[in-house]
Structure 1
């Protein structure tokens, strides 16, 4: 039986400062395949090669991955500064309208780190360029040194809204997560519900209010050890269930029109 397709948003990279590639972390592929139970397909997030309409029809769900470049601040009405870091306008041109289309259609997506920020911006929200520069905030960035295990180690708690969707999914009002981001939500977009916070008040878990499909998105990186982590596994499992539901409904729609 063919597995439903999850489009994993790729990032643009230069190898040896000359060779251009679209790439995605193996952790994302493994989480989608082994935990969500879906077929992972890497998406070249560039409007020269793909369109939002094609992606919506080809894929059953999407993982909006993390990435070093940030959403360009012009997308939320602010000028770019050195603090905003690097950008990928091609990815912006695909992911932001893709999020809005998925919300309208009820098509599932899971936002991770930059993807979490994309969901907020797509719905009209804004971002802080550097969380650690704000009074009372901790440094959420990835540790510069150490092994991969040390960089993705659990570093702070996330507290969910009592009785909210994340509380129900995790079976606990509070969990431990890793943290590897520099930016964060400044103002929440229209219909964005912040359902979880770090101890310093940084938003960590969101969903789109009233959306017909799965829209859960997180600021941390649940793809790390997703098969074993007690926080990551239910998130990717629930996402996989939502993708299968969408694929089944799509098959039903096609049969009715055949």
Structure 2
């Protein structure tokens, strides 16, 4: 049996400040290959070169990874400010409708960091431009200095809903994760269920209510050492099984993955 194909939504990147490319992090590609046992394919985040219907036919699942630019606040009815940072309207134009189409079809999706936020916005939710500026909230941003190991180090615990999707998937109500994000969920989208939070109440784990297929998102970065981490591995493994099931014509509802 051939392995499932998992599309990883790309990010626009300039090489030497002059040559524009679409790129995906090696960590995400390695996690898809090794833990999902799937073939990773970079999907250009540019509506001029990809079509949602074509993508649904080409892939058995999608990872919506992190990215430096944020979802443009116009996508959730707010005005852009300096605090919102940089934007990538092309990725917005590909990712948001693709998320909705995948959920409607039952095609598996996994949202990571920006992808987590995209899932919320895709279903009508909104975002805070800067979590650390809110009263009582912690600084969730990546440490500005240090090695990769220090930047992706475990920063805080996540508490999952008793008996919820993530509790069943992880086999524990509390796990430790890294933290490399500035924005976060303000108002949850209509079908977005917050299934895990950080100690300061910041939403960190979500799923799409009544989704016919795997539709989970996390605010942290599980791709880091995914094959060895006890939190990352079961998440990617479940996603990989869902993609394999899709490739064989089956469905894996988000609420029944564990």
1:235 is paired with a residue whose SS is helix
Q: How many residues align?
A: 250
3-state SS of paired residue (2:176): strand
Residue 51 of structure 2 is aligned to residue 51 of structure 1: yes
What is the Cα deviation at residue 89 of structure 1? 0.3
Match of 1:176 in 2: 176
Aligned: 1:60 with 2:50: no
Superposition TM-score, scaled by structure 2 size: 0.96
**Is the aligned partner of 1:122 residue 2:109?**
no
Q: Distance in 2 between matches of 1:83 and 1:193?
A: 26
Q: Residue 41 of structure 2 aligns with which residue?
A: 41
| CA distance, structure 1, for counterparts of residue 243 and residue 14 of structure 2 | 32
Which consecutive residues of structure 1, in runs of 5 or more, have no partner in the other structure? 251-258
Give 3-state SS (helix, strand or coil) of 1:216's partner. strand
| 1:8-87 equivalence runs, <5 A | 8-87=8-87
State the alpha-carbon separation in 1 of the partners of residues 140 and 55 from structure 2: 32
Deviation at 1:15, TM superposition (A): 1.4
Report what 2:92 is aligned to: 92
CA–CA distance in 1 between the matches of 2:78 and 2:14? Answer: 28
Partner of residue 208, structure 2: 208
- In structure 2, the partner of 1:246 is 246
User: Which residues of structure 2 form unaligned runs of 5+?
Assistant: 251-258
SS of aligned partner of 2:215: coil
- 1:3 maps to which residue? 3
Q: Deviations over 1:201-228 (max 9, x none)?
A: 0000000010010011100000000000
The question of 1:186 aligning with 2:182 is answered: no
- Partner Cα separation in structure 2 for residue 2 and residue 53 of structure 1: 22
What value does the CA root-mean-square deviation take over the aligned residues?
A: 0.7
Per the TM alignment, residue 2 of structure 1 is displaced from its structure 2 partner at its CA by 1.7
Hey, which bits of structure 1, 4+ residues long, moved more than 2 A?
none
Question: What is the CA–CA distance in structure 2 between the aligned matches of 1:33 and 1:134, rounded to whole Å?
Answer: 38
Superposed CA offset, 1:80-107 (max 9, x none): 0000000000000000000100111111
* Aligned-pair CA distance for 1:189: 0.2
Distance 2:199 2:69 in 1: 26
Deviation at 1:112, TM superposition (A): 0.1
